[in-house]
């Protein structure tokens, strides 16, 4: 890994393939930028049409270069890339970056071209960056091998954050906006199409780099969730925060879902759940992308402290802005503890009332502000301290921020402190950051970052081992069912009876029931099996059909049946209704179930998301589930501890937890059901599996309606 990392970001010998003689051309920029910023390695130029380019010897091929090349950047047109890659492979190059477009984003032919590059690189053990990569930058050694015009800047602000971005041009935005905040970066990599090397593989290559304290991700998609998860886990283990800004979270997968949970859990929600589960701090404010890491690096200081914030301000209005934004994001706010309140009284320090600690203009005095911050930092009841600084931050930085800096410096390891100067206060922010005090340029970025810092996202990984489940019996039953039903290689929906059979293999029970195939000519009340094993009224009756996945939408369910006459009449009426509404629907038969009573309902469903793979969703059940979307989502499968966590996040289950003296539901049995359904994630052809509703009782749970979708056979190898 060390050799590959060196070739990627700290190469000693670099080949620029296809550099033009014309300094105005894009292909000359990597050479210009490396020269301008003082790259200490060797740069070789490759151009078979000229013996000299830009005053240097130009070699006809990478193979002709007299030294072993570590890293090659191919700057040629689309149709010349394959041959150039073959030349790099022949020369033993370890890392090859490709600028050209016209690959996967250009349709089937481009996808085929990209596949050829990947197969060649894989076979040779070459790390391929791109295509569509604007290059790689390492500010530590001035390896500025990029076509991004932002690097024309006279100097680069060095930092300890690595940037991995799908967008090459966006890297320039980060550079310029970071520079305005005196925030620099260590490594910046444009990933382009991620044909072979994705965020996960590049992240794993860099995660052990001692010059990197954290990662900034600008994401347009997630192409390899397993590698991504491995990178996130490694970064977490090393205490290196990963902050992501994600765009392009499509709802196309949601539109294609058959289950209610599919409709409730679009790709945006699934991606956010995936990122949170793997301790990736997802931000919605762009500036928080590079401002949040400094705060997240202070996590250790919060270890034995409460997860709440105390806002201290010299300006009531400014402090109230911070309080508002934090409250919107659900951050718990606390005022002074009893001990700190006594201290403030003794020292005659103003502090207002309520949760905002307003020291007024007295806070512009060095002694007053230092005492206030020191007391809060050393108070064991304090969580995070946010100092909202007024106009003095702009005109008197030494006066405004010096007491904060001194209090922090003298109390290392105490409660963490961050600052938000309300005016534009460049010098104050520089002083704070030099002293290790995170600060923010906007109240929204501050609130976003604090919310991530104090949030309980880490708890999602407290017990992250996968659910253990032997799916042998499920696969056997599935094979038997697929052999008898008309679901071919393209996939389809199982009817409820067959779906029940799959769930039964997981030990999930439903009410007592009888199934009457469509061929039955007698009224159900006259059927021999019904008479011999008659169910107890009241009953529910349903038409069973894979063409009616949501039976209630078509009136194919009748409840509260109290006698034989109502039962036979309900069946006749349902058949007539479906014949009129859905004349092509094939009816497999009639299902009759005993009605069951419980304390509440839940919905539990599994589906395969287009971007992050299988996710399990738990929510309040019933027909209003899609409207309220009171759900919890995790990557699947999950174990029992994670299932309990998910259930605890559902507001609609308050009554089932015994709220205001209500009878408690068996939420432990529900957690076991969630875990069981989530295990279907490893059954290749099951793409959606849902029970809606699950009846939660005082002593167990019951499956009242089941739905399972079978995917195309091709999915079996992908999943």
pLDDT digits (tens, 9 = 90+) for 474-529: 777 778 877 777 676 677 888 899 889 889 988 999 999 999 988 776 788 778 77
Q: In the chain, what are the domain boundaries? A: 2-197, 308-455, 534-593
Q: Which helix (H) or strand (E) holds 74?
A: strand 71-74
Nearest to 88 by CA among 41, 148, 130, 46: 46
Q: Compute the Cα dihedral for 10, 15, 16, 20 and give only its sign.
A: positive
pLDDT score at 247: 83
Max CA separation in the chain (angstroms): 98
- Give the span between the Cα atoms of 82 and 117, in whole angstroms: 6
Q: What is the DSSP letter of 18?
A: T
Distance CA 473, CA 455 (A): 40
Q: Which of 622, 611, 631 is nearest to 222 (CA)?
A: 611
Model pLDDT, residue 615 = 93
pLDDT of residue 68: 96
Tell whether the model's pLDDT for residue 715 goes beyond 90.
Answer: no
- Residues 6 or more apart whose CB falls under 8 angstroms from that of 113 comprise 78, 81, 82, 102, 103
- CB of 16 within 8 A of CB of 26? no
Query: pLDDT value at position 546?
Result: 86
Whether the pLDDT of residue 392 is over 70: the answer is: yes
Question: What gap in Å lies between CA 449 and CA 419, rounded to an integer?
Answer: 12
Q: Are 646 and 667 in contact (CB under 8 A)?
A: no
Which comes out higher in pLDDT, residue 248 or 144? 144
More confident residue, 719 or 500: 500
Query: Rounded to whole angstroms, what are the CA distances from 276 to 162, 233, 409?
Result: 20, 12, 32
**Residue 60 three-state SS:** coil
Beta-strand pair 242-246/158-165:
unpaired
Q: Which two tokens stand for residue 567?
A: 């039962």
pLDDT at 476: 79
Query: Rounded to an integer, what distance in angstroms lies between the CA atom of residue 576 and that of residue 351?
Result: 74
Report the alpha-carbon distance of residue 419 to residue 309 in Å, rounded.
12
CATH architecture of the domain with residue range 2-197 = 3-Layer(aba) Sandwich (3.40)
Q: Rounded to an integer, what distance in angstroms lies between the CA atom of residue 14 and that of residue 25?
A: 19
pLDDT at position 489, please? 67
Q: Given a cut of 50, is residue 380 above it in pLDDT?
A: yes
Architecture of the domain delimited by 308-455: 3-Layer(aba) Sandwich (3.40)
The string of pLDDT tens digits covering residues 171-228 is 999 999 998 888 999 999 999 999 999 999 999 999 999 999 999 999 988 989 999 9
Please answer whether residues 104 and 115 qualify as being in contact, where contact means their C-beta atoms are separated by less than 8 angstroms.
Answer: no
Within 10 Å of residue 598's Cβ, how many Cβ atoms? 20
For residues 433-461, average pLDDT: 84
pLDDT, tens digit, 9 for 90 and up, residues 633-644: 999 999 999 999
The two three-digit tokens of residue 640, written as one number = 């029992």
User: What is the residue-averaged pLDDT of the chain?
Assistant: 89
Q: Does residue 457 have a pLDDT over 70?
A: no
Task: State phi, psi for 695 to the nearest 5 degrees.
Answer: -85, 120
CATH of domain 534-593: 3.30.1490.20
| pLDDT for 316 | 87
Residue bearing the bigger pLDDT, 58 or 485: 58
pLDDT tens for 229-262 read 999 999 999 999 999 998 865 555 444 444 444 4
pTM of structure: 0.86
Quickly state the pLDDT bin for 605 (edges 50, 70, 90). very high
Does the pLDDT at position 540 exceed 80?
Answer: yes
List the one residue out of 159, 154, 167, 163 whose CA is nearest residue 139.
Answer: 159
283/391: higher pLDDT: 283
Cα–Cα distance measured from residue 363 to residue 352, given in angstroms and rounded to the nearest whole number: 12
Mean predicted confidence (pLDDT) in 655-681: 91
* Contact yes or no for 382/340 (Cβ under 8 A): yes
> For the chain, how far is it from start to end, CA to CA, in angstroms?
28
Measure the CA–CA gap between 399 and 590, rounded to whole angstroms: 81
């Amino acid at each position: 890994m060390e050799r590959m990392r060196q070739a990627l970001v700290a190469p000693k010998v670099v080949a620029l393939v296809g550099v033009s003689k014309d300094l105005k051309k894009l292909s000359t920029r990597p050479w210009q930028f490396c020269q301008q910023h003082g790259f200490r390695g060797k740069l070789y130029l490759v151009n078979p049409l000229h013996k000299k380019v830009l005053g240097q010897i130009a070699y006809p091929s990478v193979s002709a270069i007299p030294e072993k090349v570590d890293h090659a950047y191919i700057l040629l047109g689309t149709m010349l890339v394959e041959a150039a890659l073959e030349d790099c492979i022949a020369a033993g190059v370890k890392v090859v970056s490709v600028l050209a477009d016209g690959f996967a984003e250009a349709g089937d032919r481009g996808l085929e071209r990209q596949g050829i590059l990947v197969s060649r690189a894989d076979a040779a053990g070459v790390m391929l960056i791109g295509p569509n990569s604007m290059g790689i930058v390492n500010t530590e050694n001035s390896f500025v091998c990029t076509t991004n015009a932002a690097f024309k800047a006279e100097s680069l602000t060095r930092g300890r954050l690595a940037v991995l971005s799908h967008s090459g041009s966006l890297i320039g935005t980060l550079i310029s906006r970071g520079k305005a905040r005196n925030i620099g970066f260590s490594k910046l990599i444009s990933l382009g199409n991620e044909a072979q090397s994705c965020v996960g593989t590049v992240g794993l290559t860099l995660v052990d780099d001692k010059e990197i304290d954290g990662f900034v991700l600008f994401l347009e998609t997630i192409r390899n969730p397993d590698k991504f998860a491995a990178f996130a886990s490694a970064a977490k283990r090393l205490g290196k925060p990963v902050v992501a800004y994600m765009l392009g979270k499509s709802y196309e997968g949601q539109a294609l879902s058959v289950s209610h949970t599919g409709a409730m859990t679009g790709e945006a929600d699934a991606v956010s759940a995936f990122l949170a589960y793997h301790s990736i701090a997802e931000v919605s404010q762009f500036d928080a992308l590079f401002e949040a890491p400094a705060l997240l690096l202070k996590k250790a200081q919060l270890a034995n402290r409460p997860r709440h914030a105390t806002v201290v301000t010299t300006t009531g209005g400014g402090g109230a802005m911070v309080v508002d934004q934090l409250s919107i994001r659900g951050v718990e706010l606390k005022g002074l503890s009893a001990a700190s309140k006594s201290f403030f009284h003794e020292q005659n320090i103003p502090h207002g009332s309520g949760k905002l600690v307003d020291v007024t203009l007295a806070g512009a005095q060095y002694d007053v502000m230092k005492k206030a911050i020191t007391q809060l930092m050393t108070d064991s009841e304090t969580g995070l301290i946010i100092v909202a600084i007024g106009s003095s931050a702009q005109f008197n930085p030494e006066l405004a921020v010096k007491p904060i800096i001194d209090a922090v410096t003298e109390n290392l390891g105490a409660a963490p402190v961050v600052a938000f100067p309300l005016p534009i206060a460049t010098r104050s922010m520089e002083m704070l950051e030099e002293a290790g005090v995170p600060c923010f340029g906007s109240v929204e970025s501050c609130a976003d970052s604090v919310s991530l810092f104090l949030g309980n996202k880490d708890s999602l990984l407290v017990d992250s081992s996968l659910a253990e489940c032997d799916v042998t019996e499920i696969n056997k039953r599935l094979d038997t069912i697929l052999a008898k039903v008309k679901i071919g290689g393209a996939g389809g929906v199982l009817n409820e009876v067959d779906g029940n059979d799959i769930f039964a293999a997981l030990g999930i029970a439903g009410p007592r029931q009888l199934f009457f195939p469509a061929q039955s000519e007698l009224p159900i009340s006259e059927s021999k099996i019904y008479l011999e094993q008659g169910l107890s009224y009241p009953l529910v009756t349903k038409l069973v059909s894979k063409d009616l996945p949501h039976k209630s939408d078509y009136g194919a369910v009748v409840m509260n049946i109290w006698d034989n006459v109502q039962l036979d009449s309900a069946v006749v009426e349902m058949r007539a209704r479906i014949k009129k509404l859905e004349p092509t629907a094939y009816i497999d038969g009639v299902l009759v179930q005993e009605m069951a009573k419980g304390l509440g309902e839940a919905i539990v469903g599994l589906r395969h998301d287009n971007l992050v793979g299988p996710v399990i969703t738990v929510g309040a059940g019933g027909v209003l589930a899609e409207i309220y979307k009171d759900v919890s989502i995790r990557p699947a499968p999950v174990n029992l501890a994670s299932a309990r966590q998910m259930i605890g996040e559902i507001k609609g289950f308050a009554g089932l937890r015994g709220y205001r003296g209500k009878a408690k539901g068996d939420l432990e049995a529900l957690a076991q059901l969630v875990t069981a359904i989530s295990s279907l994630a490893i059954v290749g052809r099951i793409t959606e599996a849902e029970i809606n509703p699950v009846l939660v009782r005082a002593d167990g749970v019951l499956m009242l309606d089941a739905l399972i979708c079978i995917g195309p056979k091709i999915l079996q190898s992908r999943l």
